Amino acid sequence: MSHNLPDRLVRTVQTLLACTMLLGSYAGAAEKLANVTILATGGTIAGSGASATTTVGYTAATVGVDTLIKAVPELSNVAQVKGEQVFQIASENMTNEHWLALAKRVNTLLAQADVDGIVITHGTDTLEETAYFLDLTVKSKKPVVLVGAMRPGTALSADGPINLYNAVLLAASRDAVGKGVLVALNDQIHSARDVSKTNTSTPDSFKTPELGLLGYIQGGKPYFYRASTRKHTVDAEFDVSKLTTLPQVDIVYGYANVGPVALNALVAAGAKGIIHAGVGDGSLAATVKPALVAARKQGVVIVRASRVGQGILARNGEANDDELDFVAADTLSAQKARILLMLALTKTSDTKAIQQMFYTY
């Protein structure tokens, strides 16, 4: 401060500056916390075990959403949280009907001005599938974050509470807007399209091995380093608002010495689409190919995927898809290709249009 000003004036200016900074900080602190709704569906994050060392062989889906929220009082520092118990199931029992009900509830809530983001607590077994289904059917840019746990809340070093805290602060963050449906476990942020459960039981199970995670959550803040290049949410063409069922699409697995029995049974049971999770780059065994061709002739849409887990399933690579009128799954896993094909079949059975969807989403 200049020395030729009268001391009284200098002190007045310094006091004014201090008051301005103090008011600024109060204004910042009073800045409204985001409104985040937690939709609870069950799973290990709501599970309980017989002892603190029980990390497998516990019971999933036993703890209610209010208890989950009460177990993490720090949630109130990052968001205004409300809880809804939409289901209470182990996620191996998730059905198409659960998905339709969940997507409709999410879209209804996100259309409300008083909901800024949604967290869905979910079993880890099918979490990646529910996330991708919502990635293609949520009609909002507001954050939707799926979270689970690899250990029940009763276990030593349970991962559920910190995963829930991170998921809520992510859903409350402006940085998560427009990123598509996100999956947050183990301090990492993954895209719904590319994440998968890669280990039966360890806390670092959710990975995006080659295409890469989107970012991290560290010290109560999300850090994004990349974004998906594929369309999702408001840019997706699928509308489930009036649907009560989804077309039946099943998966057949390729392996040495495979035969056509499972495929023929699924087609006979009325499958409208078949995902062939082939060995390698989606190779078709000579024992199965004729049954796939026959199914196609009956109008069943065939998608060639791979059991391998990473890499592009190339059209016209291991089979002449142009000639067979099959669809190539690109980089989608078999379980996610099933979801995209189900939604595609709600709009068209034209394989050229469906192939374009596999290059778009």
Which residues are part of the catalytic machinery? 44
Report the 10 Å Cβ neighbour count for 239: 14
| Cα four-point dihedral sign 17, 18, 19, 22 | positive
User: In one letter, which amino acid is 184?
Assistant: A
Query: From the list 116, 125, 250, 321, which residue makes contact with ligand DAS (rule: CB under 6 A)?
Result: 125
Distance, CA of 295 to CA of 299 (rounded, Å): 7
CB nearer ligand DAS, residue 122 or residue 232: 122
Query: From the list 68, 81, 90, 300, which residue makes contact with ligand DAS (rule: CB under 6 A)?
Result: 90
Q: Is 43 in the site for ligand DAS (CB under 6 A)?
A: yes
Is the Cβ–Cβ distance between 62 and 90 less than 8 Å? no
Q: Is 355 in the site for ligand DAS (CB under 6 A)?
A: no
At 51, list the tokens: 């002892």
Paired sense of beta strands 188-191 and 273-278, if any: unpaired
Question: Cβ neighbours of residue 22 under 8 Å, at least 6 residues apart?
Answer: none
CB of 89 to ligand DAS, least distance (A): 7
Residue nearest to ligand DAS (CB): 123
Site mask for ligand DAS (CB under 6 A), range 231-260, x = bound: ------------------------------
CB of 99 to ligand DAS, least distance (A): 14
Q: What is the DSSP letter of 40?
A: E
Q: Is 44 in the site for ligand DAS (CB under 6 A)?
A: yes
CB nearer ligand DAS, residue 137 or residue 163: 163
Strand order, beta sheet including 80-89: 80-89, 35-42, 117-121, 144-147, 182-185, 188-191, 215-218, 221-224
Q: Which stretch binds ligand DAS (CB under 6 A): 4-12, 119-127, 170-178, 283-291?
A: 119-127
Q: Is 123 in the site for ligand DAS (CB under 6 A)?
A: yes
Is the Cβ–Cβ distance between 282 and 252 less than 8 Å? no
Contacting positions for ligand DAS (CB under 6 A): 43-44, 60, 90-92, 123-125, 148
